[in-house]
Amino acid sequence: MQRGSLFVLSGPSGAGKGTICQKLLADTDIHLSISMTTRQPRQGEVHGISYYFTEEEDFLARVEAGGFLEYANVFGRYYGTPRDAVLEKLNEGKDVLLEIDVQGALQVKENFPEGILIFVLPPSLEELKKRIVGRGTETEDAIATRLGKALQEISFLDRYDYYVVNDDLDQAVDEVKSIIRSQSLKVADRAEALIAQYKEEN
Protein backbone atom coordinates (compact mmCIF):
# COMPACT_ATOMS: atom_id res chain seq x y z
CA MET A 1 0.00 0.00 0.00
CA GLN A 2 1.26 3.46 -0.89
CA ARG A 3 1.72 5.69 2.13
CA GLY A 4 -0.34 8.85 2.24
CA SER A 5 1.09 12.37 2.11
CA LEU A 6 0.73 15.23 4.57
CA PHE A 7 -0.31 18.55 3.04
CA VAL A 8 -0.09 21.74 5.09
CA LEU A 9 -2.13 24.72 3.92
CA SER A 10 -1.44 28.13 5.41
CA GLY A 11 -1.31 31.80 4.59
CA PRO A 12 -2.49 35.19 5.85
CA SER A 13 -5.89 35.64 7.46
CA GLY A 14 -8.32 36.59 4.69
CA ALA A 15 -6.43 34.76 1.93
CA GLY A 16 -9.18 32.13 1.78
CA LYS A 17 -7.37 29.02 3.00
CA GLY A 18 -10.34 27.93 5.10
CA THR A 19 -12.71 28.02 2.14
CA ILE A 20 -10.19 26.13 -0.01
CA CYS A 21 -9.95 23.46 2.68
CA GLN A 22 -13.73 23.09 2.83
CA LYS A 23 -13.91 22.54 -0.92
CA LEU A 24 -11.04 20.03 -0.84
CA LEU A 25 -12.77 18.03 1.89
CA ALA A 26 -16.01 18.02 -0.11
CA ASP A 27 -14.42 17.09 -3.44
CA THR A 28 -11.58 14.71 -2.50
CA ASP A 29 -10.80 11.79 -0.18
CA ILE A 30 -8.29 13.79 1.83
CA HIS A 31 -8.53 13.51 5.63
CA LEU A 32 -8.57 16.65 7.80
CA SER A 33 -6.20 16.50 10.77
CA ILE A 34 -7.89 17.10 14.13
CA SER A 35 -6.10 19.31 16.63
CA MET A 36 -5.71 18.68 20.36
CA THR A 37 -6.48 21.46 22.82
CA THR A 38 -6.55 22.17 26.54
CA ARG A 39 -9.53 24.51 26.33
CA GLN A 40 -12.98 23.36 27.36
CA PRO A 41 -15.42 22.13 24.66
CA ARG A 42 -17.90 24.69 23.43
CA GLN A 43 -21.55 23.87 22.90
CA GLY A 44 -21.95 21.37 20.07
CA GLU A 45 -18.25 20.41 19.91
CA VAL A 46 -17.50 16.68 20.04
CA HIS A 47 -14.30 15.06 21.28
CA GLY A 48 -12.46 13.35 18.42
CA ILE A 49 -14.42 15.27 15.77
CA SER A 50 -14.10 18.98 16.61
CA TYR A 51 -10.93 18.59 18.68
CA TYR A 52 -9.20 16.12 20.93
CA PHE A 53 -9.85 17.71 24.33
CA THR A 54 -7.34 17.07 27.11
CA GLU A 55 -5.90 18.52 30.31
CA GLU A 56 -2.82 20.76 30.33
CA GLU A 57 -0.77 18.19 32.28
CA ASP A 58 -1.41 15.55 29.63
CA PHE A 59 -0.71 18.01 26.79
CA LEU A 60 2.64 19.09 28.23
CA ALA A 61 3.62 15.46 28.81
CA ARG A 62 2.95 14.82 25.11
CA VAL A 63 5.07 17.84 24.20
CA GLU A 64 7.93 16.45 26.29
CA ALA A 65 7.60 13.09 24.55
CA GLY A 66 7.64 14.66 21.05
CA GLY A 67 3.99 13.83 20.50
CA PHE A 68 3.12 16.86 18.37
CA LEU A 69 4.06 17.86 14.84
CA GLU A 70 3.44 21.44 15.97
CA TYR A 71 1.89 23.20 18.93
CA ALA A 72 1.30 26.68 20.32
CA ASN A 73 0.00 28.47 23.37
CA VAL A 74 -2.87 30.79 22.38
CA PHE A 75 -4.21 33.04 25.14
CA GLY A 76 -3.22 30.56 27.83
CA ARG A 77 -4.62 27.47 26.08
CA TYR A 78 -2.56 24.94 24.18
CA TYR A 79 -3.33 23.70 20.66
CA GLY A 80 -1.36 21.11 18.71
CA THR A 81 -1.34 18.50 15.94
CA PRO A 82 -0.95 14.99 17.42
CA ARG A 83 1.82 13.12 15.63
CA ASP A 84 0.40 9.62 16.13
CA ALA A 85 -3.05 10.47 14.74
CA VAL A 86 -1.51 11.90 11.55
CA LEU A 87 0.91 8.98 11.10
CA GLU A 88 -1.91 6.48 11.58
CA LYS A 89 -3.84 7.96 8.65
CA LEU A 90 -0.72 8.23 6.47
CA ASN A 91 0.15 4.59 7.14
CA GLU A 92 -3.39 3.65 6.09
CA GLY A 93 -2.59 5.18 2.71
CA LYS A 94 -4.71 8.28 3.29
CA ASP A 95 -3.62 11.81 2.48
CA VAL A 96 -3.93 14.23 5.40
CA LEU A 97 -4.70 17.96 5.24
CA LEU A 98 -3.60 20.36 7.94
CA GLU A 99 -4.78 24.00 7.99
CA ILE A 100 -2.59 26.02 10.36
CA ASP A 101 -0.74 29.31 10.60
CA VAL A 102 2.73 29.93 9.18
CA GLN A 103 4.48 29.42 12.52
CA GLY A 104 2.85 26.02 12.89
CA ALA A 105 3.61 25.05 9.29
CA LEU A 106 7.30 25.72 9.78
CA GLN A 107 7.25 23.58 12.93
CA VAL A 108 5.70 20.75 10.91
CA LYS A 109 8.42 21.03 8.27
CA GLU A 110 11.08 20.81 10.97
CA ASN A 111 9.49 17.83 12.72
CA PHE A 112 8.19 16.06 9.60
CA PRO A 113 10.30 17.05 6.57
CA GLU A 114 8.17 14.92 4.22
CA GLY A 115 5.24 17.28 4.75
CA ILE A 116 4.26 19.35 1.71
CA LEU A 117 3.76 23.03 2.55
CA ILE A 118 1.35 25.06 0.39
CA PHE A 119 1.10 28.83 0.87
CA VAL A 120 -2.19 30.54 -0.07
CA LEU A 121 -1.54 34.09 -1.27
CA PRO A 122 -4.09 36.86 -1.82
CA PRO A 123 -3.95 38.50 -5.28
CA SER A 124 -2.58 41.65 -3.60
CA LEU A 125 -2.44 43.36 -0.22
CA GLU A 126 -5.11 45.77 -1.47
CA GLU A 127 -7.44 42.86 -2.21
CA LEU A 128 -6.63 41.32 1.17
CA LYS A 129 -7.58 44.62 2.84
CA LYS A 130 -10.89 44.67 0.93
CA ARG A 131 -11.69 41.15 2.15
CA ILE A 132 -10.90 42.02 5.76
CA VAL A 133 -12.88 45.28 5.59
CA GLY A 134 -15.74 43.36 3.97
CA ARG A 135 -16.16 41.26 7.07
CA GLY A 136 -17.26 44.39 8.92
CA THR A 137 -15.80 43.17 12.21
CA GLU A 138 -12.42 44.90 12.34
CA THR A 139 -11.36 48.38 13.47
CA GLU A 140 -8.89 50.41 11.40
CA ASP A 141 -6.12 49.56 13.89
CA ALA A 142 -6.97 45.86 13.73
CA ILE A 143 -6.93 45.95 9.92
CA ALA A 144 -3.52 47.61 9.93
CA THR A 145 -2.27 44.97 12.37
CA ARG A 146 -3.58 42.13 10.19
CA LEU A 147 -1.95 43.57 7.07
CA GLY A 148 1.35 43.95 8.90
CA LYS A 149 1.14 40.35 10.07
CA ALA A 150 0.27 39.24 6.52
CA LEU A 151 3.44 40.86 5.19
CA GLN A 152 5.47 39.18 7.92
CA GLU A 153 3.96 35.78 7.05
CA ILE A 154 4.52 36.26 3.31
CA SER A 155 8.22 36.81 4.05
CA PHE A 156 8.42 33.08 4.87
CA LEU A 157 7.18 32.08 1.40
CA ASP A 158 10.59 30.71 0.40
CA ARG A 159 10.27 28.05 3.11
CA TYR A 160 7.25 26.52 1.34
CA ASP A 161 7.10 23.88 -1.38
CA TYR A 162 4.23 25.41 -3.40
CA TYR A 163 2.13 28.56 -3.52
CA VAL A 164 -1.37 29.23 -4.84
CA VAL A 165 -2.78 32.70 -5.54
CA ASN A 166 -6.42 32.78 -4.49
CA ASP A 167 -7.77 35.23 -7.06
CA ASP A 168 -10.37 32.83 -8.46
CA LEU A 169 -11.50 30.31 -5.82
CA ASP A 170 -12.27 27.41 -8.17
CA GLN A 171 -8.93 27.81 -9.94
CA ALA A 172 -7.10 27.94 -6.61
CA VAL A 173 -8.83 24.75 -5.48
CA ASP A 174 -7.95 23.04 -8.78
CA GLU A 175 -4.31 24.05 -8.36
CA VAL A 176 -4.17 22.55 -4.87
CA LYS A 177 -5.80 19.38 -6.21
CA SER A 178 -3.10 19.23 -8.91
CA ILE A 179 -0.40 19.47 -6.24
CA ILE A 180 -2.03 16.60 -4.34
CA ARG A 181 -2.31 14.46 -7.49
CA SER A 182 1.28 15.14 -8.54
CA GLN A 183 2.56 14.03 -5.14
CA SER A 184 0.98 10.59 -5.60
CA LEU A 185 2.92 10.19 -8.87
CA LYS A 186 6.38 11.03 -7.52
CA VAL A 187 8.85 8.29 -8.43
CA ALA A 188 10.74 8.70 -5.16
CA ASP A 189 7.72 7.56 -3.19
CA ARG A 190 6.74 4.58 -5.31
CA ALA A 191 9.77 3.41 -7.27
CA GLU A 192 10.41 0.14 -5.43
CA ALA A 193 6.76 -0.89 -5.42
CA LEU A 194 6.31 -0.11 -9.12
CA ILE A 195 9.48 -1.95 -10.14
CA ALA A 196 8.40 -4.98 -8.13
CA GLN A 197 4.95 -4.88 -9.71
CA TYR A 198 6.34 -4.97 -13.26
CA LYS A 199 8.87 -7.68 -12.39
CA GLU A 200 6.04 -9.87 -11.10
CA GLU A 201 4.21 -9.50 -14.41
CA ASN A 202 7.28 -10.59 -16.38
Provide DSSP, 150-201: HHHHHTTGGGSSEEEE-SSHHHHHHHHHHHHHHHHT-HHHHHHHHHHHHHHH
Give the per-residue pLDDT at 195: 75
Give the per-residue pLDDT at 187: 66
Each residue's pLDDT tens digit, 111-154: 999 999 999 999 988 888 888 888 777 788 888 888 888 899 99
How far is C-alpha 68 from the chain's CA centre? 14
Whole-number Å distance between alpha carbons of 106 and 104: 5
Percent of the chain with pLDDT over 70: 95
Whole-number Å distance between alpha carbons of 63 and 107: 13
CB 20 within 8 A of CB 166: yes
Beta bridge partners of 120: 164
Whole-number Å distance between alpha carbons of 193 and 165: 35
Summarize the confidence of residues 49-64 as an average pLDDT.
95
Q: Phi and psi for 196 in degrees, rounded to 5?
A: -65, -40
Summarize the confidence of residues 54-63 as an average pLDDT.
96
CB 5 within 8 A of CB 184: yes
Residue 13 pLDDT class (50, 70, 90 cuts): confident
Each residue's pLDDT tens digit, 77-114: 999 999 999 999 999 999 999 999 999 999 999 999 99
Give the per-residue pLDDT at 188: 62
129 secondary structure, DSSP code:
H
Q: What is the largest CA-CA distance in the chain?
A: 69
